[in-house]
Amino acid sequence: MNSQDMSILQLVLHASWVVQLVMALLLGVSIASWAAIFRKLFALKRVKSLNDEFERDFWSGTSLNDLYASAAQNAKNAGPMERIFASGMREYQKLRERRIQDPGTLLDGARRAMRASFQREMDVVESSLSFLGSVASVSPYVGLFGTVWGIMHAFTGFAGMEQVTLATVAPGIAEALVATALGLFAAIPAVIAYNRFARDIDRVAIHQETFIEEFSNILQRNLGAHPAASASGH
């Protein structure tokens, strides 16, 4: 390759097939990473909006039975917090239908159902996070592999030359370094997004765990005041 013609495209086209394969892999990973970033960004925004909306309804004074009926009708479009609440109320009512009157048994059943629902919801919220973590940690090493291979290939080509100058070395080294640049291009956004999403998901988890405790306290108060009656208010 002419030392005067060192555009990025020409460097890629003249690289060895192994380096080109590494570049293609990193480019594909970068595109997938950006798709996961935007998908997670919108998903977390929706989760926060739905949780806030349900929490407003929950503390507005609406009875628990009315909230449960609404959650059952809106199951497909409900947010994580609403589904957690519905799981607790569903288990609570099933135990009441079995004529179980012990407040401790009723409360423990509702709490276990909510904790199980909480774990399911967090598994959904955390999806794609491990992929971003893998991209962030592995991409620089894949790019470095491409660079090392490219440099080895370039120096092998110089073995038969009687005189090696900077003009002859530079193109081969530059081709190899493009792989490292692509590795960093894929890794840096993934690192930033991973840290941001991990922090946001922790907040969602704390928010939902706090709701479970608050709802459990409400059930406990209702059971203490009316052990023979269903939860009708809070």
Identity of the residue numbered 145: F
Please report, in tens digits, the pLDDT of each residue of the chain (234 residues total). 444 455 666 666 666 777 788 888 999 999 999 999 999 999 999 999 999 999 999 999 888 889 999 988 887 888 999 999 999 999 999 998 888 888 889 999 999 999 999 999 999 999 889 999 999 999 999 999 888 887 877 777 666 666 655 556 666 677 778 888 889 999 999 999 999 999 999 999 999 999 999 999 999 888 765 544 444 556
Nearest-angstrom CA–CA distance, 168 and 146: 20
Domain boundaries, the chain: 8-158+169-225
Query: How many CB atoms sit inside 10 A of residue 168's CB?
Result: 14
Nearest-angstrom CA–CA distance, 203 and 217: 21
Q: Are 125 and 194 in contact (CB under 8 A)?
A: no
Q: Are 179 and 147 in contact (CB under 8 A)?
A: yes
Indicate the burial class of 197 (C-beta count within 10 angstroms; 0-12, 13-18, 19 or more): buried
What's the number of CA atoms in the CB half-sphere (13 Å) around residue 40? Answer: 25
Identity of the residue numbered 227: P
Query: How many CB atoms sit inside 10 A of residue 97's CB?
Result: 9
Q: What are phi and psi of 126, to 5 degrees?
A: -85, 0
| Model confidence, pTM | 0.79
